[in-house]
Amino acid sequence: MSRGRSDEKTGSPAGFPPVPLGALCCPHCQSPLAQRDRALRCTSGHSFDLAKQGYVNLLGSGNGDTTQMVAARDEFLSAGHYAPLARLVAHEAAHDLRRDALVVDAGTGTGYYLSATLARAPAASGLGMDTSTAALRRAARAHPGIGAVAWDLWKPWPLRPQSADVIMNIFAPRNLIECHRVLRPEGTLVVVTPDSTHLAELRAYVDMLDVDADKLTRLDSSLQAQFSLTGRHDCEIELTLEPADVHRVVHMGPNAYHVQEGALASVTHALTVTAAFVVSVYRRNS
């Protein structure tokens, strides 16, 4: 039976997927949420509208990535430049998932990595959280098994304790208290961080944010009391980027807030650059 949830007349999602909905709770009173008509409601009367694009805003207002940043990211990722990273993340996150498992993507963006994971584990479902409603409009449509929610990751998450089988954290803030609370015992936490050499070739053309060389040491130290490292993988991707994609890769993340207008004007030809990431896999201690 198809798991699709599009309304045939409008092309918009018709409902929130049942597995992530069952894991959600009201951010005001922590009561379970249920869908009634085009809203998620709790027994205390709090109500959150289901947007026509399929996401639910539990946050109210946010200041996430802009429409321009999201468009740049969607265009860059859709071109397949980071497909090897998506395959590696999906392999680690989807490994041995039970039926009806829940994968939570904390900082999902456009849902690119979450949809790749669900494509590898079709019996699982996903919940993507992000502050950017511009990104969530795309995430909600990235895969029929994704439920997309606007939320601030630094706040207590609107999820039941031990409701997630896997949590993915890819270039996003890490709320380790909530990761431990929401993840089931022996559940998997997949963290993706840029390597210190990530896109180093572009620094000859534009002043980009530095990546801390001690990032992994600090990551392991912060997790060691509640999680055990079970695997770590380097992922290097050599890319030949046309000027338009150079602009996209610089402007699709935090560098967009720091790069001066016209800083990439000197990039008039294709550049060969190396994208470098580290995928760290942890198990939640009982």
Residue 268 lies in a domain: yes
Residue 91 lies in a domain: yes
Residue 11 lies in a domain: no
Please state, in angstroms and rounded to a whole number, the distance separating the CA atoms of residues 158 and 207. Answer: 38
CA distances for 19 relative to 22, 126, 220, 242, 243, angstroms: 5, 8, 31, 41, 42
- Alpha helices (runs of H) in the chain, residue ranges in sequence order: 18-23, 67-78, 83-93, 112-120, 133-142, 176-182, 215-223, 243-251
pLDDT at 257 over 90: no
Residue 5 lies in a domain: no
User: Residue 43 sits in a domain of what CATH number?
Assistant: 3.40.50.150
The answer to the question of whether 257 is labelled as a binding residue is no
Provide the whole-model pTM: 0.92
- How many structural domains is the chain composed of? 1
Of 254 and 103, the one with more pLDDT: 103
Please state, in angstroms and rounded to a whole number, the distance separating the CA atoms of residues 170 and 174. Answer: 9
Q: Are 148 and 139 in contact (CB under 8 A)?
A: yes
The answer to the question of whether 91 is labelled as a binding residue is no
Please state, in angstroms and rounded to a whole number, the distance separating the CA atoms of residues 258 and 265. Answer: 16
The average pLDDT across 5-15 equals 45
Residue 10 lies in a domain: no
Task: Determine the structural domain holding residue 93 and report its residue range.
Answer: 18-284
The answer to the question of whether 46 is labelled as a binding residue is yes
Q: Take residue 50 and report the two structure tokens written for it.
A: 């289901």
Please state, in angstroms and rounded to a whole number, the distance separating the CA atoms of residues 23 and 158. Answer: 8
Residue 8 lies in a domain: no
Kind of pairing between the strands at 183-194 and 271-284: antiparallel
Average pLDDT, the chain: 92
Side chain identity, residue 213: A
Work out the pLDDT band at 182, boundaries 50, 70, 90.
very high
